[in-house]
Structure 1
């Protein structure tokens, strides 16, 4: 019995000693502020800083390429029925406009590091080709403003279906990514065509110009407030909203794409901002407002809500 008791006591003592040793070792170790194990009484081993990726969105891009339609070409901003790319909100050099490129790059930088591939009359179906041209420039930023011509047709029946619009924009983004995988993309919403109709119809000369064939789906018979005309304009408005939803959704799937949050659609253009030649396209003042919106959104720390 005594021998068994002695052996049991010996084993117990050994276990206690082992536990004490473990506690002592634990007391000598701890964690530094970053959660790394250290030893008390000794200097912590130096550690390489963690590699943390920088922000995806660069708020100071060094070059700009523009794609889109007549608005980005500055159509009717300087003279009747003519492009005026120097007055473009995106890449123009007009000092009254102070384009996005001028605000980002300065005047000399705009001349050397910006490109305008937009085309008057372009619809979303032409955007993939424009994106391919933009990709060849290897720009830091690509601006997109497209969709007004898809809704501005001779009749509601001819408007681009929303599903086709979405598919074409997806194809456009794929085309850009094939040639410029790291380019940032700023996407403007389609302007509120119904508000432009409401604003412009107050000008008698503008309404006469509209009769020449400008955006008949919205602007045709501008003073007609009958049920069919009201329904026609409502259909155009709904389609523009659907286009903007497509732009927003497709852009959201690309980590280097930033949609304007509907800022251009929400902007209330006045007669002061519209072209004196057609009372529909932005004049120089309107182009300047578009440049302001774009610059604010491109340089913001966070994307628009």
Structure 2
């Protein structure tokens, strides 16, 4: 009994002393005393997950560029030379660079589809997520701008909502998958270098990216304004890709590398003068590899071409 009573008195005394200390401090502060004000301890933000520089599996989503359309034969997909998942040695794809040729064949999947727009990426990422890949590549948006008319282009608002939905779909099934997002290519650059070829202009008359490439020799005010609107929309798409990617701690945007690259005719398909050739696919693979494997991507110096 004595020990219990002693502890009770001791606890009461300590509590009283603590209370007096608090009151005293508050009173001193109230009259301008120099006692230090109590500091609030806030939890520090958790560190973002470390970026895996050597993923062991890859899935690719997007459009005809990632399917390597017209890179081997006319009007045909050629996924073997895809910049993302191809196994052809001439391209040395991102998958081959990261996984080796055997690994690329066994642990990479190409869910891109020729003609796809950003609205289609949601379903593609849903398929990719079932594989739980270490890395997913996204290259989409050119078809959203390449429409029969300027008015038919995907709005920036819809483009953003579609990309956000697609990323949400991925995260619901595969939250730890890293994402590499490539910028939309410079479509006006295609017009400026392709319009010097009679062959390319004949191909474009078939309806390839009419919003930008129709009437390529027309330099009038209306045609110039039309091309500028398409170019501005591509820039806005790239701003969306960058913004949405930055909000995801496991996502890396290419910093506009694909858009900024001053490609020349050797990087374009001789079938349509629009899609990347095998050489163009190799270049895309190189740029993607540099971003994916960079310890600090913000400090990267990517190739910009000679144009």
Q: Is TM (by shorter chain) over 0.5?
A: yes
Matched, 1:123 2:104: no
Q: Which residue of 2 aligns with 1:33?
A: none
Q: Which residue of 1 aligns with 2:179?
A: 185
Query: Structure 2 stretches of 5 or more lacking a match?
Result: 1-45, 300-307
Q: Which of 225, 230, 236 is residue 236 of structure 1 equivalent to?
A: 230
Matched, 1:167 2:142: no
What are the equivalent positions in structure 2 for 1:1-305 lying under 5 Å apart?
55-304=49-298
Per-residue CA deviation, residues 163-214 of structure 1 (Å, 9 max, x unaligned), is: 1000000000000001100000000000000011111111110110000000
Query: Structure 1 stretches of 5 or more lacking a match?
Result: 1-51
In 2, Cα distance between the equivalents of 1:282 and 1:304? Answer: 26
SS at match of 2:265: coil
Gap change, CA 1:248 and 1:86, over 3 Å in 2? same
Instruction: Give the number of aligned pairs.
Output: 254
TM-score, scaled to structure 2 = 0.81
Gap change, CA 1:53 and 1:230, over 3 Å in 2? closer
SS at match of 2:237: helix
In 2, Cα distance between the equivalents of 1:159 and 1:124? Answer: 11
Report the aligned-residue RMSD.
Answer: 1.1
Gap change, CA 1:304 and 1:82, over 3 Å in 2? farther
SS at match of 1:304: helix
SS at match of 1:186: strand
In 1, Cα distance between the equivalents of 2:237 and 2:140? Answer: 9
In 1, Cα distance between the equivalents of 2:244 and 2:274? Answer: 28
Per-residue CA deviation, residues 203-254 of structure 1 (Å, 9 max, x unaligned), is: 1101100000000000000110000000000000000000000000000000
What's the offset of the Cα at 1:304?
3.4
The more displaced of 198-207 and 152-161 is 198-207
In 2, Cα distance between the equivalents of 1:276 and 1:304? Answer: 35
In 1, Cα distance between the equivalents of 2:148 and 2:296? Answer: 39
CA contact (8 A) 2:183 2:253 kept: yes
TM-score, scaled to structure 1 = 0.82
CA contact (8 A) 2:90 2:278 kept: yes
Q: Which residue of 1 aligns with 2:33?
A: none
CA contact (8 A) 2:49 2:249 kept: no
Task: Please identify the structure whose Cα radius of gyration is greater.
Answer: 1
The runs of at least 4 aligned residues of structure 1 exceeding 6 Å deviation read none
In 2, Cα distance between the equivalents of 1:182 and 1:203? Answer: 46
What's the offset of the Cα at 1:303?
2.3
CA contact (8 A) 1:80 1:277 kept: yes
SS at match of 1:67: strand
